[in-house]
Structure 1
Amino acid sequence: MSVDSDPIVRVAARGEGVTASGRHVPMAAPGDVVGSDGSVSAGAHHQQPPCRHYPLCGGCQLQHLDDTAYARFLVDRIEGGLKAQGLATEIRAPILSPPRTRRRATLHAERRGRQVHLGFTQGSSHHLVDLDECWVLTPALFAVLAPLRGLLAAQLTESRRIDVHLAEVDQGIDVVLQGQLRDGLAAAEAITAFSRRHKLARLSIDDGFGPEARWEPDPVTITLGGVAVPMPAGGFLQATREGEATLVDTVRAIIGEPRTVADLFAGLGTFALAMTPATKVYAAEGAREALLALKAGAGRVQRQLFADHRDLFRRPLTAEELNRFDAIMLDPPRAGAHEQTLNLAMCKVPHVAYVSCNPSSFARDAKKLCEGGYSLDWVQPVGQFRWSTHVELVGCFTR
């Protein structure tokens, strides 16, 4: 190696390669070598990106990393977050979802002359990349893009950009078009004909007042833990089925088979419905529509589940309330669960499974739990947003 060369030793949070001397180099992988002239020589972990749109498309930031380097990136992000809070623990080998398995996505559509472009925006830009291929979406989701362009060519007004929310549900593809579209009888008939022809599960339009179903031949559901749960239009799902299974299996490994368990930030019941029928589940969720769907799904199969509409940021469970349970599982949004964690740190529940999509807020909350007497035994990284800088994990806490 030349004395003027500088090796890439890690990948930063936004996806740039970082040299031993601290230089940040876009599109570089660990093992690459940066010359004095700024040229990059590919190393063993630098792969040829499979997608023609990379790196222009903002849907992926790390397609130039092989699986070893991508897994290392996930571990480094978690280690860095914990280190910033003075914490360290075992970080297990990341479990990665395969390519073309993402079952939900939000794309954007806009008119350019007579054509409609549909895809992700370019990284750090509003420029829209029209997708000719995609290596993260499931084949079923990608297959609906071309027909949607045709529909939107007739429905999308000039100089308008809308959001297109797609999800795979039990009945097929669920579509939510968010933004201003053409109105009138002809437009409504075209949407109905399109939805029927392409056998959509549902098509909804949200023009600023919430999604309104324009086509839904059968009630739309998503199966969680073997239970068909009513699926709100645009509702939250784990990004891949493989990622969901990993998260559920990891949570169950942490809490075992408790007699009573609290599921905080329960959503549609990904974890609550994965419990054995003998387990009594308390599920708290601030989003009313999601909670009502969970309650309806659990009621159909007569699960022992109490659904509580509760804002855990403004009204977290007290330590006394938490002490009624044998185990706690929580899956807060990216901001974490600061208010709830303060009370959780004072309770005596022996097992806590913390699911997070943000290593920084997780580490902040983990510090509070450890200061309260919990031990962070290990962390399981989950890479269900393949080739993105998004990191998910499950932390195992015991007392």
Structure 2
Amino acid sequence: MTLELTIDHIGAGGDGVANEGGQTYYVPFTAPGDRITATPAEARGKGQAATLNDILSPGPDRISPACRHFGTCGGCALQHLSPEFTADWKRQKVHESLSMAGITEAEILPTLTSPPGSRRRVEFIAAKRKKGVMIGFHLRRSHQIFDVGDCPLLAPGLLALVKPLRAMLPSVLPRNSTAKVMATVTNNGPDLVITADTDLDLEKREILAAFTAENGLSRLSWRQDATAPAEVVSARLPADISLAGVDVTLPPGGFLQASADGEQTLASFATEALSGAGHIVDLFAGVGSFTFPLAKAARVHAVEGDAELASGLQAAANRAIRPITTETRDLFHRPLLAEELNGYDGLLFDPPRAGAKAQAEEIAKSTLPTVVAISCNPVTFARDVALLIDGGYSLGPVRPVDQFLWSPHIEMAAVLRRQ
């Protein structure tokens, strides 16, 4: 069965949405105004997925994709949409989430987008088969692996590792096994963490050490599963990143903002919003992406649930003689209470996608004059901001930041001030 459809808009997941005969269809790789033919597929929510067959006439926002693998590789969803449309669509996602939380008067600034080739952290999927190792990304909605060749999204140094990894991994992986390879750009070369369910003998360790040296890696670590601590197999130079002029050593696999450009945009927003504050608390501080910029003009207390991240942050602050203290604390189960927060005159929180509901409830009870909220999830961002507004804060400008180029994801930052 083939349908002729006209795409009305782009849904939250990045698929085009069409309505025909009382049925809603979700069609990937389509643009508003596209007239297409499509084949219906599985049910999805209250509608039905469909597979794009042909574009009879393109909509005004359709462009040629930047990558020859687009549509096959599952890494990107929006390369066929103009940058202007995508930026406005992501801004609208933030607006819709705030509106659903009852926040209808928000000032949402234009989206700032990181450029191609700026993604500095990536996880490749590798699989060893009879004829060798495939390495790349999962095909869209599939467990099959697309053997990547080009990727305009990634920093060149990360893409350059694909061929050497494809040649080296057959020597360390057993037949019919899979691995994940987390690669991060650092000052001293890429940092790799390989996750694979196999033991390393002396020969394999020597192969990995040689790979580290030959490919200019800063460090290579190994773990047998995602919950196990990573063992450093070879370290050539410190896996450092620079944050506001301070070199910070990343723990293996430690979280880092997706692009240096996006990180700088968010840090600039935060430092401007909190200018004038003398003592700031930075919650969910991670490696210190915002701690160190804020510490240029204020004392900062950084709170982080991961002890290794907090320890690395403190060590870097001590070496650079920055006015920073740290605390290891699970803010989901033991948020800072209002009484503790009242000792500060500024706060920043940047939680994972689940948001910070318990912490936001305590902030709402506090007397903190200025709060900066940063999030990578518009829904939990809106929920947490609504809690602060209910507690007496007014919402200032909201800045969408697109570090996740050609994907449906969006990051955002907002400043709230106590009325």
For residues 327-373 of structure 1, give each alpha carbon's deviation from its aligned partner in whole angstroms, at most 9, with x where no partner exists: 11010000000000001111121211101000000111111111111
Structure 1 position 16 matched with structure 2 position 15: yes
Q: CA RMSD in A?
A: 1.9
Distance in 2 separating the partners of 1:392 and 1:184: 42
Structure 1: where are the runs of 5+ without partners?
none
Name the counterpart of 1:284.
Answer: 303
Task: After TM superposition, list the pairs within 5 Å mapping 1:340-351 onto structure 2.
Answer: 340-351=359-370
Instruction: Give the fraction of aligned pairs with identical amino acids, expressed as a percent.
Output: 38
Task: Classify 1:129/1:287 alpha carbon distance in 2 versus 1 (closer, same or farther; 3 Å).
Answer: same
Pick one of 61, 74, 77 that aligns with 1:61.
77
Name the counterpart of 2:30.
Answer: 28
For residues 360-390 of structure 1, give each alpha carbon's deviation from its aligned partner in whole angstroms, at most 9, with x where no partner exists: 0011111111111111222101111100111
Distance in 1 separating the partners of 2:349 and 2:182: 26
Pick one of 385, 388, 392 that aligns with 2:404.
385
Distance in 1 separating the partners of 2:340 and 2:312: 24
Contact preservation (8 Å) 2:158, 2:185: yes
Name the counterpart of 1:253.
Answer: 272
For residues 118-177 of structure 1, give each alpha carbon's deviation from its aligned partner in whole angstroms, at most 9, with x where no partner exists: 011122211111101111111110001100111101111111111100000111110111
Task: Classify 1:36/1:162 alpha carbon distance in 2 versus 1 (closer, same or farther; 3 Å).
Answer: closer
Structure 1 position 320 matched with structure 2 position 336: no
Structure 1 position 214 matched with structure 2 position 233: yes
Offset, 1:9: 4.1
Pick one of 54, 78, 88 that aligns with 2:94.
78
Distance in 1 separating the partners of 2:383 and 2:5: 34
For residue 63 of structure 1, what is the amino acid of its counterpart?
Q
Offset, 1:74: 0.7
Structure 1 position 363 matched with structure 2 position 382: yes
Offset, 1:71: 0.6
Pick one of 157, 178, 188 that aligns with 1:161.
178
Secondary structure, in 3 states, of the residue corresponding to 1:65?
Answer: coil
Task: Classify 1:82/1:155 alpha carbon distance in 2 versus 1 (closer, same or farther; 3 Å).
Answer: same
Name the counterpart of 1:186.
Answer: 203
Name the counterpart of 2:117.
Answer: 100
Name the counterpart of 2:62.
Answer: 46
Aligned residues: 396
Contact preservation (8 Å) 2:338, 2:365: yes
Name the counterpart of 1:242.
Answer: 261
For residues 203-235 of structure 1, give each alpha carbon's deviation from its aligned partner in whole angstroms, at most 9, with x where no partner exists: 111124311111112232111111111210111
Task: Classify 1:19/1:376 alpha carbon distance in 2 versus 1 (closer, same or farther; 3 Å).
Answer: farther
Name the counterpart of 2:48.
Answer: none
Name the counterpart of 1:138.
Answer: 155
Offset, 1:23: 4.3
Distance in 1 separating the partners of 2:375 and 2:407: 16
Distance in 1 separating the partners of 2:309 and 2:150: 32
Structure 2: where are the runs of 5+ without partners?
40-51
Distance in 2 separating the partners of 1:395 and 1:330: 10
Distance in 1 separating the partners of 2:401 and 2:296: 27
For residue 25 of structure 1, what is the amino acid of its counterpart?
V
Pick one of 300, 318, 321 that aligns with 1:302.
321
- Of 24-33 and 360-369, more deviation after overlay is shown by 24-33
Task: Classify 1:303/1:63 alpha carbon distance in 2 versus 1 (closer, same or farther; 3 Å).
Answer: same
Distance in 1 separating the partners of 2:204 and 2:287: 33
Distance in 1 separating the partners of 2:175 and 2:386: 51
Distance in 1 separating the partners of 2:212 and 2:116: 27
- Of 202-211 and 99-108, more deviation after overlay is shown by 202-211
For residue 113 of structure 1, what is the amino acid of its counterpart?
K
Contact preservation (8 Å) 2:295, 2:322: no
Offset, 1:392: 0.6
Offset, 1:34: 4.9
Structure 1 position 339 matched with structure 2 position 338: no
Pick one of 367, 371, 377 that aligns with 1:352.
371
Secondary structure, in 3 states, of the residue corresponding to 1:169?
Answer: coil
Name the counterpart of 1:203.
Answer: 220
Secondary structure, in 3 states, of the residue corresponding to 1:162?
Answer: strand
Give the strand-richer structure, 1 or 2.
Answer: 2
Distance in 2 separating the partners of 1:251 and 1:213: 34
Instruction: Tell me the TM-score normalised to structure 2 length.
Output: 0.90
Distance in 2 separating the partners of 1:20 and 1:159: 43
For residue 125 of structure 1, what is the amino acid of its counterpart?
S
Distance in 2 separating the partners of 1:6 and 1:346: 51
For residue 371 of structure 2, what is the amino acid of its counterpart?
V
For residues 23-60 of structure 1, give each alpha carbon's deviation from its aligned partner in whole angstroms, at most 9, with x where no partner exists: 43322113434579986421221011121221121211
Contact preservation (8 Å) 2:371, 2:416: yes
After the TM superposition, list the runs of 4 or more consecutive aligned residues in structure 1 that deviate by more than 6 angstroms: 35-38
Task: Classify 1:154/1:35 alpha carbon distance in 2 versus 1 (closer, same or farther; 3 Å).
Answer: closer
